[in-house]
Chain A
Amino acid sequence: MLASALVVILIASALGYWWNRRAAQALLEAGCHPHSTPRYHGLYAFLLVAVPSFLFLVFWLAFEGPIIDAVILAQLPDEVARQLDENGRRLLLSEIDALAVGRVFKEAEPWKHALAAERQRLEILADRALLGLVTLLAGAILLHARRRVSAAFRARQRAERIVSGIMIASALVAILTTLGIVASLMAEALRFFHKVPVAEFLFGLRWEPQIAIRADQVAGQGAFGWIPVLVGTLLITVIALVVAVPVGLLSAIYLNEFASPRFRRLAKPVLEILAGVPTIVYGFFAVLTVAPALRAAGVALGIPVSPNTALAAGSVMGIMLIPFISSFADDALSAVPRTLRDGSLALGATRGETMLKVLFPSAIPGIVGGVLLAVSRAIGETMIVVMAAGIIAKLTFNPLDSVTTVTVQIVTLLIGDTEFDNPKTLAAFALGLMLFLITLGINVVALKVVRRYRELYD
């Protein structure tokens, strides 16, 4: 249905282009001097038909499902409708949906079959209505656009105004995305804070989200204090930085000051490869190679090492961050004005001294910005820790112990679960909100530091 509606819109728009263009051409040949060239008359018709019809299509598709659901719900037998809560309604709707497409898992009551048939009828009706309305709309606009063609009509300005509108709308998508993130996280987090007090979430020292989903399930009461999760995240972040910062900075210093141009040309792309490896690959690497190696080392030294240590996840995350920090530091070092370097060398400093005492201190703000961005990446990094870190939240600072992180909890709480009404799934959104706020704060500061530093030397 979507495809045929799109085809209708495309054909109507192309028709509009061709029709208006021909009309304008005819004007031109008749000796009038149209304000705009035929091409713009055509483009005007094309855009005028395509944009509203397409928007109509998108709106229709967005609201078709919910409206059909509402109609179906309105037809429920009274005694059923009265005892249903939000959740039950959802379940019932998906059951009717399954019946409608012919997937029957268990014997259903006759009224459900009736509703399923009704649903199917409504869907076919909606599809036909959509196609009809789109055709009607596109046709009407087509006729309207054709009537606008005249020598005085400023088709170019009109078309350009529509194009400007499209461009502005596209730029607003970025804002809408941010708004969508904030709104969805806030909405679900607020629902979570209705069930769990904010203070308990922010200051609680126990994180045990394994609460009963069904009434008959045996599980703990559940505790939602995020401090242990936060501590685990910070522990892994610190480990990652301990690996990434020295290695990243030293390799930047080497590549920037000491390496031959040939070596540099070879080394930079290799580092970029390291940056381009998907994080799930690093995660599997941590599980496959690094964790067993650490365990073997632990056994050899007689130290107890847990199977999914913070150290394994953190160090692999550090490897992932090396190219990130090194390229930031390299850029910062290259941005230090040549005069500072030359001045230092002219005073007799060695290249090493120039680097450590002149260039590096001057580049510090840029480097700090890069390290901050790396911190925000480490906090938000998901797949490495999902695969290599633990699930159980433990309040510990021991890198050989197993800890969990904010992102691990988000993923484990939400995988295979779509019910939006129990604290367990809602907790993921509260964690997501905290994650978003923390990384946003760090990013804003980092970008500001980097920008101010750039202004310093530009």
Chain B
Amino acid sequence: MNEIREDAAAPAPRAGRGGVDWHDPVLKARLAIRKRRERRLRLFGLLAVVFAFAMLGILVASLVRTGAPAFTQTHVTLRVHLDPKRIPPDNINRGNYRAVIKQAVLALFPEVKNRRKQREIVKIVSKGAPWILRDMVAANPDLVGRTITVDLPVSDPFDQLYKGLIDRSTPEAHRRLKDEAISRFDSLVARGLVRAKFNTYLFTNPDSRFPEIAGLGGAIMGSFYALLTCFVLSFPIGIAAAIWLEEFAPRNRLTDFVEININNLAAVPSVVFGLLGLAVFLGWFDLPRSAPFVGGMVLALMTLPTIIIATRTALKAVPPSIREAALGLGASRQQVVFDHVLPLAMPGILTGTIIGLAQALGETAPLLLIGMNAFITAIPDSPFAAATALPTQIYIWADSPERGFVSRTSAAILVLLGFLVLMNAVAIWLRQRTERRW
């Protein structure tokens, strides 16, 4: 008793009747320091959160800023005469479309006679334009012999110029486009022949060496096949494994080992899974290189732990009373699980699966190792055809020297992020719609 009174009295000698003197300046100063410390901690915490937000903001902003131009493509309007002499009607695919386009472009500048300058002028139109024209004619062979007005994509430097990405004030020597080329292109603009259109090539075309006609069509199909394979393999296997571990497995060394194993597998670096795929699927089983099917198998091994863990959580969330009621009515243990527990856990399982697939969609390193970073100019027609995937396509474009690929890389990232947002939104929607509180 005495001790307490002494302790209380010592720091506050002016305390009256055993209370604390709240007006004591020493106490007030100390309290002020303590409160300041708290405010500082609070401020630092807020700054940390703001820093994280700002980084996300800068990330998205820089991608949108560089990526936005790639969603449009500059086109030039040409009047092309599909000369039957150059495009034999009986062999449309063999026609000399380049010559036809050259003629149409040169017709815009009748005053230029110099061969070398003519060659410069032809460069305004994309080198991929002949194929576009060929596809048009192939779709409608009656066009041969007629003169048609078409919008064809301009080549990358002029596309950049039209979008204002080339600084006209830099000295000519440091510019890829010389003054003459710029003034010619400007005359086309003045004549109203140049126009920016929504870049459908970005979504429909396969990869190309020419940025203006390179697209994500092949990569999207490759990613689709890989994810499909991944889902077909990992979803049933993951659910079956989780059900066994959660509902049936006896508690012993073996099941403990399996469990630790799965937890560790979830944290193995993705590049190691790539090495596994390279050595086992490509090396030992001789499966085709660059095939989305192999990529999907590797992704399935990576997604498996995610699905198993999500399924177990969902199964755990189903209250035991459901199981007991079913058992009490005479159901077998498998009937309990498959007829009652599993349907109730399904929304949670699906949510976890979609999130796992979203992770798999963004995974790059394992796909690089099994060769899904090849330069492939065809859209894959089966899971066994060579293909790229969205993230590996981003990697290829990020490595390409052409300037047009910088904005296309950002655009491809935006497309990838769009798919991820979509998948996560579906997962959240599913969770909110079907969430059940027991």
In the complex, what residues of B have CB within 8 A of residue A416's CB?
371
Assess the A180–B37 pair: CB atoms within 8 A.
no
Stretch at the interface among A198-206, A207-215, A219-227, A274-282: A274-282
8 Å CB contact of B283 from A356, A420, A436: A420
Shortest CB distance B271–A (Å)? 5
In the complex, what residues of A have CB within 8 A of residue B236's CB?
170
Per the 8 Å Cβ criterion, residues 323-347 of A in contact with B are 323, 326
In the complex, what residues of B have CB within 8 A of residue A283's CB?
398
8 Å CB contact of A171 from B49, B244, B280: B244
Assess the A288–B271 pair: CB atoms within 8 A.
no
Q: Count the A-B residue pairs with Cβ separation under 8 angstroms: how many?
A: 261
Distance, CA A381 to CA B278, complexed state (A): 18
Shortest CB distance B390–A (Å)? 9
Closest B residue, CB atoms, query A326: B52
Assess the B262–A174 pair: CB atoms within 8 A.
yes
8 Å CB contact of A278 from B263, B364, B409: B364
In the complex, what residues of B have CB within 8 A of residue A326's CB?
52
8 Å CB contact of A323 from B52, B58, B395: B52
In the complex, what residues of B have CB within 8 A of residue A415's CB?
368-369, 373
Assess the A280–B52 pair: CB atoms within 8 A.
no
In the complex, what residues of B have CB within 8 A of residue A436's CB?
268-269, 272
Assess the A254–B49 pair: CB atoms within 8 A.
yes
Question: Is A87 positioned at the interface, with any CB of B under 8 Å from its CB?
Answer: no
In the complex, what residues of B have CB within 8 A of residue A274's CB?
52, 55-56
Assess the A258–B48 pair: CB atoms within 8 A.
no
In the complex, what residues of B have CB within 8 A of residue A247's CB?
48, 51-52
Distance, CA A281 to CA B45, complexed state (A): 27
Per the 8 Å Cβ criterion, residues 253-267 of A in contact with B are 253-255, 257-259, 267
One digit per residue, 1 when the CB lies within 8 angstroms of any chain B CB and 0 when it does not, for chain A 354-392 equals: 011000000000000000010011011111001100000
Distance, CA A316 to CA B193, complexed state (A): 44
Q: Which of A188, A278, A280 has the most CB of B within 10 A?
A: A280
Question: Is B100 positioned at the interface, with any CB of A under 8 Å from its CB?
Answer: no
Distance, CA A65 to CA B286, complexed state (A): 7
Per the 8 Å Cβ criterion, residues 73-108 of B in contact with A are none
Assess the B269–A185 pair: CB atoms within 8 A.
no
In the complex, what residues of B have CB within 8 A of residue A281's CB?
59, 63, 362, 394, 413, 416-417
Per the 8 Å Cβ criterion, residues 318-345 of B in contact with A are 332, 334
Stretch at the interface among B131-139, B156-164, B301-309: B301-309
In the complex, what residues of A have CB within 8 A of residue B368's CB?
386, 411, 415
Q: Which of A167, A253, A436 has the most CB of B within 10 A?
A: A167
Question: Is B62 positioned at the interface, with any CB of A under 8 Å from its CB?
Answer: yes
Question: Is B267 positioned at the interface, with any CB of A under 8 Å from its CB?
Answer: yes
Stretch at the interface among A20-28, A295-303, A394-402, A439-447: A439-447
8 Å CB contact of B59 from A259, A277, A411, A439: A277
8 Å CB contact of A184 from B46, B264, B275: B275
Question: Is B188 positioned at the interface, with any CB of A under 8 Å from its CB?
Answer: no
Distance, CA A382 to CA B436, complexed state (A): 39
In the complex, what residues of A have CB within 8 A of residue B400's CB?
none
Contact (A174, B258) CB under 8 Å given A382-B365, A387-B395, A387-B398: yes
Distance, CA A319 to CA B280, complexed state (A): 34
In the complex, what residues of A have CB within 8 A of residue B304's CB?
173-174, 177
For the complex of A and B, the 3 pairs showing the least CB-CB separation, nearest first, are A380-B269, A254-B45, A278-B362
Other than the given A278-B362, A285-B59, 6 more pairs (CB < 8 A) read: A246-B48, A250-B48, A267-B49, A270-B56, A382-B269, A410-B271
Which A residues contact B (CB, under 8 angstroms)? 62, 65-66, 69, 156, 160, 163-164, 166-175, 177-178, 180-181, 184-185, 187-188, 246-251, 253-255, 257-259, 267, 270-271, 273-274, 276-285, 287-289, 319, 322-323, 326, 350-353, 355-356, 373, 376-377, 379-383, 386-387, 407, 410-411, 414-416, 418, 420, 428-429, 432, 435-436, 439-440, 443-444, 447
